[in-house]
Structure 1
């Protein structure tokens, strides 16, 4: 079952203000369900398509990454982390698609990665294959 977020939690996740998310709800820009008490609850998947559009405050490390390869970053939400020994498998939901990445367990701990957080997949263009569907 998919997690539902309060408008405040969704605003925090997107890095926007609470009044902005409320306006988006009223205008139908973002879809939500209503509780029996009339409160809005927003499915996490509803935010996936908006993560790349929102701007979070830049940290020096993030600024360095943006200069490294801005065109090959896909922003999404961490949906699963499995750590086994020295390696970790991280699954990102990006626009409804799942991307798997194998990184070191140490990297997961250093970056404090957690399920539900926003992260970016940095893709090395020489390793991307295209398949006609």
Structure 2
């Protein structure tokens, strides 16, 4: 039986390479990255198309997600586990468990969906004045 090449969504491919979604989209539109299209016209990237890019990026030093997160200029940063994500219209309630404490943030539903926040994931909270921003790590 022949091996089947796994098809990834652009966001999944970007995450696998450790780059932004915008960069993946630029590569697709420029024809730099081979894709196939679904019947609905959505791009899917064969996992084999990422292999050369993964090999070239493996020589670069890998920064773990906490170090990448900490590169943000804000200094009030906490990393914890997502214990709740609740969508309500345009907003989403995100609750992080940090040690024996919980912190709650209300963010846009679009932002929560874009970060693909799910219960059990590691995420970070950035606090600036009275606002708390959630960053998926």
- The TM-score, its normalising length taken from structure 2, stands at 0.45
The structure that has the greater radius of gyration is 2
Q: What TM-score results when the alignment is normalised by the length of structure 1?
A: 0.46
